[in-house]
Every structure is written in C-alpha cells, then in structure tokens.
Structure 1
Amino acid sequence: MLIHPNPDPVAFTLGPLSVHWYGLMYLVAFAQFILLGRVRIRQPHIAAQGWTKEHIDDMLFYGVLGVILGGRLGEVFFYGFSYYMSHPLEIFAVWKGGMSFHGGFIGVLIAMSLWARKVKMHLADVYDFIAPLVPLGYAAGRLGNFINHELPGRIAPADLPWAMQWPGIAVPVHPSPIYQALVDGVLLFVILWLYARKARPRLAVGGLFVALYGCARFATEYFRTPDYEVSAAGITISAGQMLSLPMILAGAVIVLFAYRKRNRQPS
C-alpha cells in the first residue's frame, strides 16, 4: 500500500506572503495554455483563421477570470452551499482548494463569449481553439487537489498495488485525484490534440471535448468519495456524475450537429 506524502500545502513564503502549491498548479495550468496555444496557432487550419500570439495573451485574462469566478461559485452552489452560507468569508479562501470544474467550465464559456464579441471572432472557432488546451490545465488542478489531500477516493482493496493510505482515513483508498488527472486530463488531452490537428467541422472539437470530459468524469467518479449522491429509480449517482450527464448528451448532439451541417453545405 502506498502512503500519501502529505506535503506542506505552502510551497514557500515571501515575508508575510505564503505561496500555496494549489495556487502554483493554477499558474502551471495558465502557462501550459499559453505554450500549447502558441503551438496550435502554427497549425495551418488555425493560422488560416487569423489567430495570433496577442489573441492568446488577451484571451487568457478573460479565461482566468472565468475559471476562478466560475470555479469558485460552482463549488459554492453545486457542492457546499449550506457550508459557505454559514461561513461566507470562506468563499474567498481559494488557496485552500475547492474549485468546481463544472462551474469553471460555465465561467469560461461566458468569458470566451465576451472575448469573442470584443475581437469580433466567431464564438464557435474560439471554443474549438481552446478545447484541446483545457485538459492539461485540469490535470494540474487535480495535482493541486492531491497535494492538499482533497477529494479522497472510495475504499480500495488492500491488495491493490496503488491503494493509498490517505491522511485522516484509516482504510486504504483509491487516489482519485491522480485517476482524474490521468484520465480526465492527460488521456483527454492526447485524444483531443490528435483530433484537432486537422481541420474539423465548426464546433466538432469543442463538442468532442464536452462529450469526452463528461464520459471520463462519469467513469472516474466511481473511484472518488462523492460530495453527495442522488438516487432515482434504484440508481444512485454522485453529484459529479449528475453534472456530467448533461455534458455527455450536449457534447454528442453538438458533434452530430457539426458534421450534419458540414455535410449539408454545397460542395
């Protein structure tokens, strides 16, 4: 059985300022967005749309606001409403962790719509451009959760080679943040990056991201201790799975719509 390293959540201090690993993981996420974005604008079908380095830098500012505001508000309203209403100042303590991907996803959609309107770029092209840049940033966030020993997994078989002794939990559990970093993050990145290297119908890349993330998150949620569960017709699903189901459906519809629309266009 592995033992969680349980590192100090504070990476270093600068006088009265404490820099947390969780915050550094977000900096890693934003840095990889810039680096991968600059690789992506060199792809011929992306360059033909007029993307520039300045677009990426400007878009990142909007994206950061969408991730942080949407992610935190999603955590408050989707997962911990009663707690945060009782401790309202904790809403601002983002360095302690607690960011909802689904909330951040909604926040980024709104932020990108505002940015696209500002630069007069087609919103679907913006979504398609950023979709392959998101999963590795998500993986970095899950590493931040792991460092903070957040999101412990469900009880794991003691003979599972990677079962982990989690801080504060007496029994071995699945290291669910690592699962989600690898499956929802790295694996999803590889699939999307390879798919998006060629020109695809407008919204196909963005739709594929939505559908695949929903599927990946639904699967990895089986190994994570749920924030809460919902039961209907004898079926029990976690909060994360409940929020992922609309993504699976919407993503599949978007991809189908994108290809049908392209096939209907006159040659």
Structure 2
Amino acid sequence: MDAFIGWWQELPTHMDPVLFSIGSFELKYYGLMYLVAFVLTYVLALYRTRTESRFPYNSDFLQSFLTYQVLGVIIGGRVGYVIFYNLPYYLSHPLEAFLPIAMGPGGIEFRGFAGMSYHGGLLGVIVAGYLFTRKYKVSFGNLADLFAPVVPLGYTFGRLGNFINGELWGRTTESAIGMIFPDAPGLDLRHASQLYEGFFEGIVLFLILWSIRRRAFPEGSMMPFYIFGYGFFRFFIEFYREPDEHLGFVLFSLSMGQLLCIAMMIAAIAIFIWMKKNNPIPDIAPVKADRKK
C-alpha cells in the first residue's frame, strides 16, 4: 500500500506532457485531449441524431456546427482570460493578448498563448452557436438540447490534458491523496483539482444530463441545466484549487472562478425561467431503429 501511495503522490513528476517531437515541433497531450474531446462530442451528437426524432441533422451539418464551436472556444477562451483574469497586464501589453508573442529584454519573443478561460470559452460557444443558427435558420434551443448533454464527457479529457500538462494544480493538503506537482511552489502535496473537475464537471454532470435528456422540458432547457450544473460543481471544487497567483482571493475567501460560477448559476436560473414561459415543450419520441442509416 505504501508503494502505491508513493507512486500516486509522485505521478505528476514522471509525466511528460510531450507526446512526441520532430525537430522543434512538439505535439503535447494537452492538444490531443482537446481533439479527443471534440471528436467524442461529435460522435455522441451524431448518435443522438440517429436515435432521437427531434434532431433532424446529418453529419455534414454537425461538422459545420462544431467548426463554429471550436472557433468560439478558442476566441472566447482567450478573450475571457484577458478580461477576467489579467486585464491590467494586457492593457499595458495589447499585442500579447491575441498574438503568441511577448516583449522580452531582447525584443519580441515567441511564447505561445498563455491563459484560457473556461467561462470565456462558454460565452464564445454560445455566441458562435447563435451566429450559426442565424446563418442556417435553425433553432438555437434545439441545437443546445442536442449538444449540452454530451459536452461534459468531452470536457473530462480537457481536464485530463491539464493534469498531464502539470498545470492548474490544487491547494496544499496533508492528505495521502495529494500529489507533488513539479512546477508548483515547493514540494508540498497538493490536491489534484484537475482530476476532481474532470470527474464531477465531466463524468458526473454527463451522467445527470444524459439521464434526463429525453424528459419533457421547454426547448433549450438543457443549456441552462448544463450551465448551472457546471457552475455548481466548479464552485465547490475551487475550494481545493489553487487560485491564480496574480489574483489570489478576489472577494473574502472566494476566487475569481467562484465568482464567475455564481454568476453562471444565477444566469442559468434566469434563462430557464424565461424558457419555461416562452419556449414550447418539444416532441421527444425516439427514432425507430431502422429509420436512419
């Protein structure tokens, strides 16, 4: 047992975030995990279109929609980080906000993008989805009901990528479940908050939403259900996650992430109340097994 505990606690120190490299090119597990997340989201959404009559979309349509979503995640995630987490710095260094460069002592240096915000990415996805539905004249609520229940499972792989990358580690702990993250200050045991998030915000939330996906709710309701569920789990897990060093605790003992989660939950409740008053309850009858090929 002691051997297993030792292996567990030192696991992050033995993980290489680089899958393989060719010359100066490196493929990291982090990027691969995001690719897996989008592919899994697509596969589950495609399965739903073939088993649930209320989603009359083909594979080409879903691929086009996911292209918008990828752009929404990247642009929204970056803009969100700049605004929510480091605005004073980027007001002084505007080029670094959207270009993978930094102004070092020797001039311009290539450093890649450092910092993405989940909450900004979520807003980016919603905006991208709205623009897509306006362009193709389809129901925003119907597409939200299709994708919201499947997104959390893909999100699990994103947090696994954070874990392998050795980033977004948790707060220090004396519990044996803690781990040593080599890039964290000191050699203290820390909560593997990335794995906590992947489990609760990913797997658990997926199981909840998947189990209720065919119940009679107003069209679009799965979106506020997802937003509230994510905000709820993330709020409590943030008590185990180390706050951003340059921000610390923003209000009392709450981090910026927790404040944004409170805003998410309030917004989700308001959206659902609006949908309950204005949106119809869709026909949720499943498709016969031989209806779609």
The answer to whether the superposition gives a TM-score over 0.5 is yes
The percentage of counterpart residues that share the same residue type is 38
Q: Structure 2, unaligned stretches of length 5 or more?
A: 101-110, 282-293
- Correspondence 1:34 to 2:42: yes
Q: 1:66 aligns with which of 72, 83, 97?
A: 72
TM-superposition CA deviations, 1:209-257 (whole Å, max 9, x none): 11111111111111001123222xxx43110001111111121223334
Q: Residue in 2 aligned with 1:120?
A: 137
Q: 1:133 aligns with which of 150, 153, 156?
A: 150
Distance 1:51 1:182, change over 3 A: same
SS of the equivalent of 2:20 reads: strand
Q: Residue in 2 aligned with 1:153?
A: 170
SS of the equivalent of 2:56 reads: coil
Instruction: Return the offset for 1:43.
Output: 3.1
The question of whether the paired residues in 1 share the 8 Å contact of 2:99 and 2:113 is answered with no
Give the CA RMSD over aligned residues: 2.4
How many pairs were matched up? 258
Q: 2:57 aligns with which of 43, 51, 56?
A: 51
Greater displacement, 192-201 / 92-101: 92-101
TM-superposition CA deviations, 1:79-123 (whole Å, max 9, x none): 133444448447544966632110100100111011101111111
SS of the equivalent of 1:116 reads: helix
Q: 1:166 aligns with which of 181, 184, 206?
A: 181
Instruction: Return the offset for 1:11.
Output: 1.1
The question of whether the paired residues in 2 share the 8 Å contact of 1:76 and 1:91 is answered with no
Q: Residue in 1 aligned with 2:223?
A: 206
What does 1:191-230 correspond to in 2, within 5 Å? 191-227=208-244, 228=247, 229-230=249-250
- Correspondence 1:5 to 2:12: yes
Separation of aligned partners in 1, 2:221 and 2:215 = 11
Q: Which has the higher contact order (CA 8 A, sep 6+)?
A: 2
TM-score (norm 1): 0.87
Instruction: Return the offset for 1:197.
Output: 3.2
- Correspondence 1:21 to 2:29: yes
SS of the equivalent of 2:148 reads: helix
SS of the equivalent of 2:16 reads: coil
Q: 1:246 aligns with which of 256, 263, 275?
A: 263
For the pair shown, the structure with the greater C-alpha radius of gyration is: 2
Q: Structure 1, unaligned stretches of length 5 or more?
A: none
**Higher helix fraction (1 or 2):** 1
Distance 1:96 1:10, change over 3 A: farther
Greater displacement, 54-63 / 10-19: 10-19
TM-superposition CA deviations, 1:123-176 (whole Å, max 9, x none): 12122221112212222111111111111111112xx23111121432111111
SS of the equivalent of 1:5 reads: helix
